[in-house]
Amino acid sequence: MNWLFKLNNFFRIWGVTFRAMARVKIWLPLILLLLLQVILLFALIRFYQPPFSLVLVPLLKTLVGEKALHYPGFYAALPFAYNLLNLAVVGFLSILINAMAILLLSFHYWGRQVNLKEAMAGARDRFGHLFLLWLVSTAAVALVLILPGFILSGWMGGSPRRILFVQLASFGLGVLVAALFAYCYNAILLSGESWLKSIRTNWGIFRRNFFSTCFFIAIPGFISWLYGVLISNSPLIMSKFRPDIIPLLLFLGSVINLFVIFWILGSLARLFLYEVKEVQL
């Protein structure tokens, strides 16, 4: 009976999250995130023109080499450069953006009104703890996503099946590690906890809702991950289509991620409020 209860709650939370997607105001911080990604992508495409060239030409030369500064090598290296700079630049700004989205979602679930200015103020007041948590969680997730491929590079030996196996294993580990921080933002923003105490709070909720938490992250995340894998092989795509399709595919990937982020944040926010007895499912 307990499993049926949890399964029912799982789908009820998804239902509430999907209904929240009709609220335009909640999307606004995430649309800002998308706009920042579009600006970054545009700057990379125009890296050879001032004022972008002053920074991006030496930076790209360092990151991806001299060949990537010329056609068509640039498009082959664009996904790697975009993803790396997206994590470093936009990823930092996403601390505030995701925090605002969590606050807007939580107040929506409470049935209370909050405007963007109030959401920004709430996120800004807790930025120090959010930033420390972001550093720790990003490092942990990046480690499990990158380390298996590095350790098993000799075993993979260029075999597509082995590469896919390692990628899937890395994704699974990434989901598990992300789940260890799944409710920390909520605890920091809504319960006023420190970043360290929020990890302990998260552990208690995670233990009680192990499968729900993992699937709330894994199912939407798999959509984003799968698309990323498909467009990561830019030389193969360029052999089938025009090279300048790569920026369009990266933009579509950012749009998909926008939906995925809402789906994950909305689901976790609802379960967190239920766990702290703030809402009924």
Q: What pLDDT is recorded for position 244?
A: 85
Evaluate if residue 90 carries a pLDDT over 60: yes
pTM of structure: 0.91
Of 178, 21, 19, the residue nearest 11 (C-alpha): 19
Evaluate if residue 248 carries a pLDDT over 60: yes
Evaluate if residue 281 carries a pLDDT over 60: no
Evaluate if residue 268 carries a pLDDT over 70: yes
Of 96, 30, 46, 61, the residue nearest 263 (C-alpha): 30
- Whole-angstrom Cα distance, residue 69 to residue 43? 14
Q: What pLDDT is recorded for position 249?
A: 93
Q: What pLDDT is recorded for position 1?
A: 45
Summarize pLDDT for 234-245 with one digit per residue, the tens. 888 888 888 889
223 or 153: which leads in pLDDT: 223
Evaluate if residue 206 carries a pLDDT over 90: yes
- Whole-angstrom Cα distance, residue 148 to residue 156? 11
| Average pLDDT of the segment spanning 38-58 | 90
Determine which of 11-20, 154-163, 200-209 has the lowest per-residue pLDDT on average. 154-163
Q: What pLDDT is recorded for position 195?
A: 95
Using a 10 angstrom Cβ sphere, with 0-12 exposed, 13-18 middle and 19 or more buried, the burial of residue 1 is: exposed
| Average pLDDT of the segment spanning 165-194 | 93
Summarize pLDDT for 69-89 with one digit per residue, the tens. 888 788 888 888 898 888 887
Residues 6+ apart with CB under 8 A from 155: 162
Q: Are 6 and 211 in contact (CB under 8 A)?
A: yes
- Whole-angstrom Cα distance, residue 71 to residue 77? 10
Determine which of 130-144, 196-210, 265-279 has the lowest per-residue pLDDT on average. 265-279
